[in-house]
Each structure stands twice: as structure tokens, then as C-alpha cells.
Chains A and B, each alone.
Chain A
Amino acid sequence: QVQLVESGGGVVQPGRSLRLSCAASGFTFNNYGMHWVRQAPGKGLEWVAHIWYDGSNENYKESLKGRFTVSRDNSKNTLFLLMNGLTAEDTAIYYCARGSGYEFDYWGQGTLVTVSS
């Protein structure tokens, strides 16, 4: 069965960086585009970034471009999100999701990032 397991979240000071990981299993990882979606406490869902199945192209929420970088290692079935210059507004649960066509057909359980001094 498809499984997506995020890790790397935690408490980080403002201005610092953090790298999240998403370990995928149960499907052929290098056949699918992957996404990151976040959810601030008590708020709705916000799409963050997308990377093509082969890593050849990336797309970002406009306001996060230049600060966030999505990447993947298809040999290890793992997706990454590098977040720089973190602020309190980046505090959220970060989900990875598998892209299928124009939707997310599987979601991970998420990892919580808290930006606080």
C-alpha cells in the first residue's frame, strides 16, 4: 500500500533553516510528481511546492520562491523540502502528497514545524 512518511520537523529559531524529508513506499516513486502542502494551526491547506517525477522541473507558491527548495532522490524514494529564512508565518504542519494527474491522491501524516525563539 502507498505510504508517505514525513520527518524532520521540530522547533527552529527565526531566520534558521530546516530540511524536511518524505519517505515513500508502496509505489514506483520515480513515476510520480510529488508535492508539499502546509497547514498553519487552525487554518486551511496551502500548497507549497511541486517537483516533477524525474526532478527536472519544480514549481513553487509565488511568495515562497527563493526561500524554499524542493528536491528528490529517486534512488532512495525520498522527497525533500529545504526551508531557509524561517519566520513565525512558516509554522505549520507540512504534508507531502503524491501527484496523480491534477490532484493529490495520497497524503502523508505530516510533520510539525514550529518557528519560535
Chain B
Amino acid sequence: EIVLTQSPGTLSLSPGDRATLSCRASESISSSYLSWHQQKPGQAPRLLIHSASIGATGIPDRFSGSGSGTDFTLTINRLEPEDFAVYYCQQYGSSRITFGQGTRLEI
């Protein structure tokens, strides 16, 4: 099973800042297999980025993803108040799907 490790666990920033969230895989994965999801309190998760760098439908362009191999990054430019949430990376390899433990982005 591929383990995804996210860092930092908690990130404290202010509106207008840039957030950089990391996701490291225990072994190399195809970029096609790496996604990012956002979850706000009391809500279901929402797909933000798939294939490491492609924004999902309706996602603002201040969200961007990058990376390859074992290291992937979610960047959020010009943080808006509604961006403060928990972010999960997710991989889909060999029909066994795993999530990172999440990064909490707080004001």
C-alpha cells in the first residue's frame, strides 16, 4: 500500500497569503494518479485538482498543483477566507486507493 505523508500538519496563514502544501508518496506514482480534495467543517470533501495539476470543474485558478514521482505540491495563491479548510491528497494505484492524513489550513 502506498503511504502518502502530508506536511505540514497545520498551516497558519492570513487572507491574501500564499499557501504551499506538500504530499510525499512512499514510492513513485504516476502524476495521473494524484488528486487533491478540500474539506470544510461539516461538509463532504470536494475535488480540487486531479492528475497532479489539472483543476477540477469550477475550481478558482488560485488553486494549482504540481509535482511528479514522490513529491507533489498544492499551492493556493491569494488566500480567501473560504479557503481555510482541511486538504487531502489522494492516490489511485493498483486499485488500492489511499489518502494523506490531511493538512489543516487555519487563519
Contact = CB atoms under 8 A, between A and B. Distances in A.
Nearest to A46: B99
A110 B99 CA distance: 17
Interface residues of B, number: 26
A12 B33 CA distance: 36
Interface in B2-48: 32-33, 35, 37, 39, 43-47
Interface in B81-103: 88, 90, 92, 95-102
A100 B92 CA distance: 11
Given A45-B37, A62-B1, A50 B95 contact: yes
B45 A50 contact: no
Contact of A107 (B35, B46, B98): B46
Nearest to A57: B95
Interface string A34-74: 01010000001111001000000001011000000000000
B99 A47 contact: yes
Nearest to B31: A102
B52 to A, nearest CB: 10
B45 A107 contact: yes
14 contacts: A35-B97, A44-B88, A44-B102, A45-B90, A47-B90, A47-B99, A50-B97, A95-B44, A102-B33, A102-B35, A103-B35, A105-B50, A107-B45, A107-B47
Given A105-B56, A107-B47, A109-B43, 6 more contacts: A44-B100, A44-B102, A47-B97, A101-B50, A103-B92, A108-B44
